[in-house]
């Protein structure tokens, strides 16, 4: 469960514990929980079991293997420093790297496989907001992280 869940803090970061069989964790994986809702990985439960299995393996490998590459992972989108996992057409899980932490901060379900530039610009602002919240989160939980 998330560390230091204070009621006055609206944005939280839940760490995903990777099963030990995947090896030593090199990058900690977090997902954003805003106002109590897991905005980035909540929809993960809605995708079918087979694709869930694939994404679980990918995220676990992103945590335990350096620079893990896959056709459905893009590390940099439109020159921005955040990336996406697109496990199915029209479904996107957005993440960014902060030191040795990978933070899943957004999800999109769109009818198209590409987005206008304005979408990425907006997403980048969201990323920056969460990055700033993550810095505060680290400061609050320095002993545990």
Task: List interacting residues with other proteins (CB under 8 A).
Answer: 1-2, 5, 14, 16-19, 21-24, 29, 31, 33, 36-38, 41-42, 44-45, 49-54, 56-61, 64-72, 86-89
Shortest gap between Cβ of 107 and other proteins (angstroms)?
12
Nearest in space to 40 (alpha carbons), one of 87, 103, 131: 103
**What are the distances in angstroms from CA 49 to CA 31, 53, 87, 91, 141?**
20, 6, 12, 15, 34
Nearest in space to 39 (alpha carbons), one of 26, 50, 30: 30
Shortest gap between Cβ of 42 and other proteins (angstroms)?
6
In the bound state with other proteins, the residue whose beta carbon lies nearer, of 69 and 118, is 69
Lateral strand order in the sheet of 11-16: 11-16, 28-34, 101-109, 91-98, 82-88, 73-74
In the bound state with other proteins, the residue whose beta carbon lies nearer, of 19 and 142, is 19
Query: What is the Cα–Cα distance from 75 to 138, expressed in whole angstroms?
Result: 23
**Which residue(s) pair with 31 in the sheet?**
14, 104
Shortest gap between Cβ of 96 and other proteins (angstroms)?
19
In the bound state with other proteins, the residue whose beta carbon lies nearer, of 34 and 131, is 34
Shortest gap between Cβ of 118 and other proteins (angstroms)?
25
In the bound state with other proteins, the residue whose beta carbon lies nearer, of 18 and 123, is 18
In the bound state with other proteins, the residue whose beta carbon lies nearer, of 87 and 106, is 87
């Amino acid at each position: 469960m998330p560390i230091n869940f204070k009621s006055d803090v609206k944005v939280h970061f839940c760490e995903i514990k990777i099963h030990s069989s995947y090896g030593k964790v090199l990058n900690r994986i977090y997902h954003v929980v805003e106002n109590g809702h897991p905005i980035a990985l909540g929809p993960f439960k809605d995708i079918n079991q087979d694709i869930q299995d694939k994404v679980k393996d990918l995220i676990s490998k992103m945590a335990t293997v350096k620079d893990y590459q896959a056709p459905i992972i893009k590390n940099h989108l439109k020159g921005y420093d955040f990336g996406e996992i697109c496990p199915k057409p029209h479904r996107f899980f957005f993440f960014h790297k902060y030191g040795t932490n990978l933070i899943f901060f957004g999800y999109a379900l769109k009818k198209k496989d590409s987005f206008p530039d304005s979408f990425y610009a907006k997403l980048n602002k969201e990323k920056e907001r969460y990055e700033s919240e993550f810095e505060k989160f680290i400061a609050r939980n320095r002993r545990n992280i």
